[in-house]
Amino acid sequence: MLVLGIETTCDETAVAVVRDGMEILSNVIRSQEIHTKYGGVFPEAAGRSHVEALPVVIRESLKVAGVSLQDIDLISVAAGPGLIGSLLIGVNAAKALALSLEKPFIGVNHVEAHLYAAMMREELPIFPSLGVVISGGHTFLVLIESIGSYKKIGSTVDDAVGEAFDKVAKLLDLPYPGGPEIEKLALQGNPAAIPFKAGRVKESPYDFSFSGLKTNVFYSVYGQNGVKTGPCPLTDPEKADVAASFQETALKDVVRKASSAQKAFNLKAVYIGGGVSHNRRLGTLFTEEVKDVPVFFPGEGLSLDNGAMIAGLGFHVYTNKGKGDSLDLEPETRAGNRDFIKIK
Ligand code: KG4
Ligand code: ZN
């Protein structure tokens, strides 16, 4: 089954063609540069950019895959969570395609797709396993019983870990998105330079809290009573130390909580998804910490927002349901961390 996957939840316009949920024939991603100058995603501009980019990206994706629209068997689209103006563009494009091609259409959850990205490999997924979602909007641990069946183990009570990377980057005057910038700068710094601490949530060993860590970074840069009115006062080596110390603290917190959940629930594998999974230091820390079971990261081009994970998951959702969604499906905007769909 050939699936066209459309992703427009935030600031990436992405379209992919995937066969049977696994074989990626194309995975075209167009990132919107416009947000860099705003230091974050400007929703109005994101929606407008999707309108311009989506037809081009669809055509390019079909071309790379060497297939025509008529060859597509199913249209899968990320139906939420995300920005409403962005979601509407992808969802309506998917509906229009399905209607005109007389092909089924399916809406999938973007966050669930991030988790599925790590399962897109030749070998069958291993269950029950631990899912670790670490993106700009979400941070949580789930027990994966099968594709489509999850139980929440823990989540952040405030900021998502990617959001913390983005906010700390802003304090250091680094451009958006901050995650890759912090990672780059951290390579030149000393991760033990500043003894930051990640947040602990009382009586919830698998929950996360990153807002205190972000505040501590603020204090270490601008002082206890400081305010950020101008450029970051640190020298470049000092900035690198802050980046490295923050990164080490945030990532170790994720890895330790994930590892202890894997052991406590006796899970047979760990699947990691979301933009922060792109961080190389995270890979090293996981390898050091989790030794008894395999840890799977998304493959090349599957960590950040992409259409392949949407097409891949769409195949399973459609097969499990035995039918497509109706064309009156509405996009779901809610992006709270306690809001992951279908969690029992
Ligand atoms: O999954 P994603 O593309 O979008 C959401 O669904 O949120 O994740 C984007 C997030 C941003 O916060 C970005 O700063 C972070 O992932 N990120 C990283 C890295 N690359 C992207 N964080 C740490 N290290 C990276 N290399
Ligand atoms: Zn995402």
Which residues in the chain are classed under CATH 3.30.420.40? 2-116+302-321, 123-296
pLDDT attached to residue 198? 95
pLDDT attached to residue 42? 76
pLDDT attached to residue 342? 46
Q: Rounded distance, CA 251 to CA 321, Å?
A: 37
| 3 state DSSP class of 189 | coil
Residue 117 in this model has a pLDDT that exceeds 80: yes
| Residue pLDDT, tens place only, 36-47 | 777 777 788 888
Ligand nearest to C-alpha 170 = 1
pLDDT-based confidence at residue 344 (cuts at 50, 70, 90)? very low
pLDDT attached to residue 108? 95
Helical ranges in the chain per DSSP H = 43-65, 84-101, 110-117, 161-171, 178-186, 211-222, 236-264, 280-289, 308-321
Residue 142 in this model has a pLDDT that exceeds 80: yes
User: CB atoms < 10 A from the CB of 102, how many?
Assistant: 6
| Residue type, position 282, single letter | L
Q: Indicate whether residue 281 lines ligand 1 (CB < 6 A).
A: no
| Residue pLDDT, tens place only, 58-115 | 999 999 999 999 999 999 999 999 999 999 999 999 999 999 999 999 999 999 999 9
Q: Indicate whether residue 154 lines ligand 1 (CB < 6 A).
A: no
Q: Which atom of ligand 1 is nearest to the CA of 137?
A: 7
Q: Which atom of ligand 1 is nearest to the CA of 12?
A: 3
Residue 337 in this model has a pLDDT that exceeds 60: no
Q: Indicate whether residue 137 lines ligand 1 (CB < 6 A).
A: yes
pLDDT attached to residue 34? 72
Average pLDDT over residues 202-230: 93
Average pLDDT over residues 252-259: 98
| 3 state DSSP class of 207 | coil
Percent of the chain exceeding pLDDT 70 equals 96
Q: Which atom of ligand 1 is nearest to the CA of 162?
A: 12
Residues β-bridged to residue 12? 31
Distances (CA, A) of 165 to 108, 133, 176, 241: 27, 15, 10, 14
2-116+302-321 CATH pick, 3.40.80.10, 1.10.10.10, 4.10.93.10, 3.30.420.40: 3.30.420.40
Handedness of CA 277, 318, 315, 56 (dihedral sign): negative
Q: Which atom of ligand 1 is nearest to the CA of 111?
A: 6
Look at the domain 123-296 and name its fold: Nucleotidyltransferase; domain 5 (3.30.420)
| 3 state DSSP class of 267 | coil
The Å distance, Cα 274 to ligand 1 centre, comes to 7
- What are the two backbone dihedrals, phi and then psi, of residue 145, each rounded to the nearest 5 degrees? -85, -40
Edge-to-edge strands, sheet with 105-109: 23-31, 12-19, 2-7, 74-80, 105-109
Q: Indicate whether residue 109 lines ligand 1 (CB < 6 A).
A: no
Q: Indicate whether residue 318 lines ligand 1 (CB < 6 A).
A: no
| Residue pLDDT, tens place only, 224-243 | 888 888 899 999 999 999 99
Q: Indicate whether residue 275 lines ligand 1 (CB < 6 A).
A: yes
The Å distance, Cα 283 to ligand 1 centre, comes to 14
Q: Indicate whether residue 304 lines ligand 1 (CB < 6 A).
A: yes
Task: Return the minimum-mean-pLDDT range out of 40-49, 120-129, 154-163.
Answer: 40-49
Distances (CA, A) of 114 to 16, 149, 201, 260, 311: 14, 15, 25, 22, 12
Residue 298 in this model has a pLDDT that exceeds 90: yes
Secondary structure (H, E, C), 300-333? CCCCCCCCHHHHHHHHHHHHHHCCCCCCCCCCCC
pLDDT-based confidence at residue 341 (cuts at 50, 70, 90)? very low
Q: Which atom of ligand 1 is nearest to the CA of 165?
A: 14
Angle, CA of 217, 140 and 10, to the nearest 5°: 80
Task: Return the minimum-mean-pLDDT range out of 15-19, 145-149, 295-299.
Answer: 145-149
| Residue pLDDT, tens place only, 2-61 | 999 999 998 899 999 999 999 999 999 998 777 677 777 778 888 888 999 999 999 999
Task: Return the minimum-mean-pLDDT range out of 3-7, 128-132, 147-151.
Answer: 147-151
